[in-house]
Structure 1
């Protein structure tokens, strides 16, 4: 993705509209629309690549730059019972202690980063008219809509009612930019976009949108809104499309873009333009802010008791501070002298580990969830087959009583997908977040309350809206 950085320069030259809200102070008095940007098919494809650039983010610690998924673990894993900080200080600790402030710079950066994804997708969608070939235009539309749906799905789950911007808007259209709409309306657009993506994509890519990625994401959306039979059908389509579990759990993360990967954000080592720093910063005394995603005692216990072969590849005792436990699924490649199969040359903050968004094991467990259909358990043979495939890969025996309970499914998702940013969303979707977080908070002296299930709308957005935008309760 080295060419994607040139797209940023192009975009800086003209369009600063609603979604790139970092640039809206003061509000501009005039602007250029996307119509003057892309005039050929090749130029529109550079716009597609720029969407992934926004997802990938910038490898630095400047909160004025978009960091895409590189900051997502703060907003998800560290607000669950899976991880915490080492120092218990600064803005990072606000997530751990459930006292996130509306002025939190990490929250503001994530919000702006994903609205940048939406902005770039909208720009592509409004430029499709320059493409002569109808099939190419349909494929580009599907790819842009997949990414827009992905961004909105994360934002609506984290912030609740949010502004819905489905086209490039004039810079002075602050009404659209700052008016929050109901989550149901946001989900309607997400579903529509993903249906288009499923119809228009194939399975060529793993670090770009694909048909299976759109199906898997749509299945997760359907599970979130209670459309279980639709989710089940999508999962079963993926099961028959050639994806398989890696025999060795560690290979999922270090034999990149393998048969289990459905969609990942791609990174390359050594060059700051295409690398990431989050995996180094989960270590001790390596990253710019080291030890920011340490494993909780609660998660260690779950992995030790139920993880099977996955445990050794999920966390380790910190070699420099034995009282702490580190996430190891994304250790910078080459951390042990190249033993992990790749190298970050001499700088761990230039790591090339891809960030996995969707993989086949997740789909198999979603299949179980869809069959369970919001109930307390299932004895379906199809559900048991999917469930046991995941367990067996971890060296564990089949489910012993022929019935999978909701609690068992949640636990299996926890140990299989630990530290991959699923736990918080899973607990909310299963209706268990309130009880789990309340108990975890009480046991660890934290400050959880019901309002913590949503993040605050960044105070910067509230201020810029001049009274249009309201804050979430509790902030």
Structure 2
């Protein structure tokens, strides 16, 4: 297959041909945009090379658009708002605007970021469905299998994000007409969505190898399916999948900081790839997290709660996870994704290169996560384990952090804490709290201490009001909104 970076240089033009009127946050036709060019998906795909450009267009959807406009889909670049900033890990600096709705648990159905992410995930699903709809032009059977696997991995990941964040969602497993509102606006039970996710990832595992880190791989599909099974309480299946990844040649980086700044290293299982300086392939979330560099004056700022956890339990990870904002010493910034790895100088906002055109890859799955999922699978919902395999996986993560005392037992709370300090600011915390059954107690207590407005209905986001309106009453809203 072609080199990922080379293909990405041309993908903006190719994606324009395939999906010409890409969805916007105010479009009603986001599942099949109306083309304004003579070349459409129906006429474009004629061979394997052209189908592969459709595959790469899916990753372009994951990248999102590096802009300041909510009319552009930002995809993974906005995910931290919906995950980390709704947990006890991060908040805004100024406590103002739409962004502050997440930390205060008063998210409105009209929130543009909520609508943007929802539309972005369906854009990704749409592009995957286009590829799956055109596999018939691929004459090489092996390539057809690989392309199907890759498209289904991406579709599964998008649906996994949607179902965990919004609950029951429309289930679109093929290209549909904009007039097919019955499918477009019918919310399907989460169990049915999970059935498709499991099926897609099972297909992906059977059709992929471990060639790539910024494209789907067998290990990425195994790790993602393990997390799905953990979410569903299927612990033995999750354990087997984790052990398959553990035996696939991945490893922990010796230095925790190198995980994030020696990109596509041995610890990375799957990441969304970015390239610096090019507006078409760069990202600005790294800049957003700094002081007055990005679109805002600081979001995803670190809470005192997670600072206390990192300071006491983070070991060597702490120094590479957050830092003090030199321009306002009561504030603290995430440092796992400093733009292009630059420190920003003493003021926290002077960078050698344009911080809003950062090239940091976004890590979706890495080996340390799999090791801790392995422990979770063996724990199997229990309160503690002394299983030797679990202790070994847990010990490896602790050892890398410089916490080398021998582990003789792992409790559920200790595992949740370890996941927090290892994976802080990587968009796992909220999902971990829900999966471990701790979200209600932890977030209620955090809310009470900080004067926030958490209630149990806040575990799901609202269905975007735009979708409710366009459905003419066909779509129902989540409780609490």
Q: TM-score, normalised by structure 1?
A: 0.95
- 2:158 aligned residue (151, 154, 164): 151
Alignment of 1:434-449 (within 5 A): 434-449=440-455
Alignment of 1:41-440 (within 5 A): 41-336=48-343, 346-400=353-407, 402-440=408-446
Aligned to 2:464: 458
Does the CA contact (< 8 Å) of 1:78 and 1:96 recur in 2?
A: yes
Write the deviation string for residues 84-119 of structure 1: whole angstroms up to 9, x where unpaired.
000000000000000000000000000000100000
TM-aligned CA deviation for residue 345 of structure 1? 5.3
> C-alpha displacement at 1:4, in angstroms?
1.7
Q: How far off is 1:24 after superposition?
A: 2.1
**8 A Cα contact 1:34 1:126, kept in partner:** no
Structure 1 residue matching 2:9: 3-state secondary structure = coil
The 8 Å contact of residues 158 and 454 in structure 1, kept in 2 or not, is answered as yes
Q: CA separation in 1, counterparts of 2:443 and 2:31?
A: 40
Q: CA deviation at 1:9?
A: 1.4
Structure 1 residue runs of 5 or longer lacking an equivalent are none
Give, in whole Å, the separation in 2 of the partners of 1:72 and 1:42: 31
- Cα drift, residue 37 of structure 1: 2.8
Name the CA distance, whole Å, in 1 between partners of 2:352 and 2:13: 25
Name which of structure 1's ranges 1-10 and 440-449 shifts more when overlaid on structure 2. Answer: 1-10
Match of 1:24 among 10, 14, 28: 28
Moved more, 288-297 or 438-447: 288-297
Distance 1:187 1:352 in 2: 33
Tell me the secondary structure at the aligned position of residue 425 of structure 2.
coil
- The answer to whether the Cα contact below 8 Å between 1:269 and 1:344 also exists between their aligned partners in 2 is no
Give the secondary-structure state (helix, strand or coil) at the position aligned to 1:311.
Answer: helix
Change over 3 Å in CA distance of 1:137–1:321 after alignment to 2: same
The offset of 1:41, in angstroms, is 1.0
In the alignment, what sits opposite 2:4?
A: none
Q: Deviations over 1:284-314 (max 9, x none)?
A: 1211213111100000000000000000000
> d(CA) in 2 for partners of 1:109 and 1:161?
18
Q: Is 1:163–1:178's contact at 8 Å kept on the other side of the alignment?
A: yes
Count of aligned residue pairs for this structure pair: 468
TM-score normalised per structure 2: 0.94
Report deviation, 1:68.
1.1
Cα deviation 1:97-149 (Å, max 9, x = unaligned) = 00000000000000000100000000000000000000000000000000000
- How far, CA to CA, are the matches of 1:429 and 1:33 in structure 2? 42
Root-mean-square deviation over aligned CA pairs: 2.0
The question of whether the paired residues in 2 share the 8 Å contact of 1:333 and 1:353 is answered with yes
Contact 1:20–1:116 (CA under 8 A) maintained in structure 2: no
Structure 2 counterpart SS, 1:66: coil
SS of equivalent to 1:163: coil
CA contact (8 A) 1:280 1:290 kept: no
Determine the C-alpha separation between the residues in 1 that align with 2:314 and 2:113.
31
Secondary structure at 2:49 match in 1: helix
Aligned position for 2:476 = 470
User: Shift in Å at residue 11 of structure 1?
Assistant: 3.2
| Mapped contact 2:25–2:116 kept (Cα < 8 A) | no
The 1:26–1:259 alpha-carbon spacing in structure 2 relative to 1, beyond 3 Å, is closer
**Shift of residue 20, structure 1, vs aligned partner:** 6.9
Q: Against the structure 1 CA distance between its residues 471 and 362, is the aligned structure 2 distance closer, same or farther, given a 3 Å change threshold?
A: same
